[in-house]
């Protein structure tokens, strides 16, 4: 009888341990179109993960292509649960364009108060030695189908790298407002009104190189998620 009672008491803990070892996977990708001058640009940002509630392998790819490939990077990360709604990640990133090379990645992402999706990333390597990125998004569920999502991405560099027209400090701010319609829990379409600007010494370097220092417009996109 005593053995039976002990077995019954241990069942919840055993079930929880089994649940921690179960493997799940999920992925999402955003693909959108915008016009830059006379060129139609296609941008994508996708990620896929495989793992348990505590440990995951994450693959991320994002880039921009028009008449040619303008930018592309891929990341392979190990993600570890550290607190309610927060994960720490470490791994590698490969940039194909604009500057080919490998970088180390250390990141923290999760949900800040009020449901703000937050990501802090540090990248070590390359000529700039240390760079970073802050990604913020605040999805607001207007109805069961409509979502309004303001967002902001901030990039910075630890040092100046003239060959890449990049200065030290905050060098790019990209902000916008997404209006999204979710057909179901897997497919959505959206309109993204955005504005991006280079700042600080990066702005001056871009002007000297004859490049645009700011851009804005409207993107039309498709989101596939929870697959």
Q: By C-alpha distance, which of 200, 176, 214 is closest to 32?
A: 176
pLDDT of residue 37: 80
Mean of pLDDT values over 175-200? 96
Specify whether the CB–CB gap between 92 and 74 falls below 8 A.
no
Predicted pLDDT of residue 200: 84
9 pLDDT tier (thresholds 50, 70, 90): very low
**Residue range 116-134: average pLDDT?**
90
Give the residue extent of every domain in the chain: 27-225
- Per-residue pLDDT band for 24 (boundaries 50, 70, 90) equals very high
Mean pLDDT of 82-94: 96
Assign 162 a pLDDT band (cuts: 50, 70, 90): low
In this predicted structure, the answer to whether residue 4 has a pLDDT above a threshold of 60 is no
**Residue 128 confidence (pLDDT):** 67
The pLDDT of residue 30 is 98
What does the pLDDT read at residue 16?
A: 44
Residues 6+ apart with CB under 8 A from 38: none
Residue with tokens 């490969």: 94
Show the tokens assigned to 178: 């997404």
- In the predicted model, is pLDDT for residue 17 greater than 50? no
Stated pTM of the model: 0.85
CA–CA separation, 90 and 80 (whole Å): 9
Distance between CA 33 and CA 44 in Å, rounded?
9
Q: How confident is the model at residue 8 (pLDDT cuts 50, 70, 90)?
A: very low
Q: Kindly give, in sequence order, each residue whose CB lies less than 8 Å from that of residue 128, ignoring residues fewer than 6 positions away.
A: 157, 158, 159, 161, 164, 166
More confident call, 149 vs 36: 149
The yes/no answer on whether domain 27-225 falls in CATH 2.40.160.40 is yes
pLDDT score at 38: 84
pLDDT at 209 over 80: no
- For residues 79 and 50, give the distance between their C-alpha atoms in angstroms, rounded to a whole number: 10
| Averaged pLDDT of the chain | 88
């Amino acid at each position: 009888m005593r053995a039976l009672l002990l077995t019954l008491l241990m069942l919840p803990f055993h079930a929880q341990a089994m649940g921690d070892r179960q493997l799940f996977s999920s992925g999402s990708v955003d693909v959108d179109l915008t016009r830059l001058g006379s060129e139609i640009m296609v941008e994508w940002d996708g990620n896929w993960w495989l793992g348990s509630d505590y440990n995951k392998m994450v693959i991320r790819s994002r880039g921009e292509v028009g008449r040619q490939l303008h930018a592309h990077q891929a990341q392979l990360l190990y993600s570890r649960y550290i607190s309610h709604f927060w994960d720490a990640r470490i791994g590698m990133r490969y940039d194909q364009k604009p500057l080919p090379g490998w970088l180390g990645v250390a990141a923290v992402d999760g949900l800040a108060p009020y449901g703000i999706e937050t990501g802090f990333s540090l990248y070590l390597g390359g000529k700039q030695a240390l760079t970073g990125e802050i990604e913020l998004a605040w999805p607001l569920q207007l109805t069961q189908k409509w979502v309004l999502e303001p967002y902001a991405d901030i990039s910075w560099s630890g040092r100046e790298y003239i060959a890449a027209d990049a200065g030290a400090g905050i060098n790019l701010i990209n902000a916008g407002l997404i209006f999204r319609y979710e057909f179901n829990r897997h497919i959505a379409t959206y309109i993204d009104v955005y504005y991006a600007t280079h700042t600080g010494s990066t702005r001056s370097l871009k002007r000297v190189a004859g490049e645009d220092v700011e851009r804005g417009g409207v993107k039309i996109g498709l989101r596939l998620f929870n697959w």
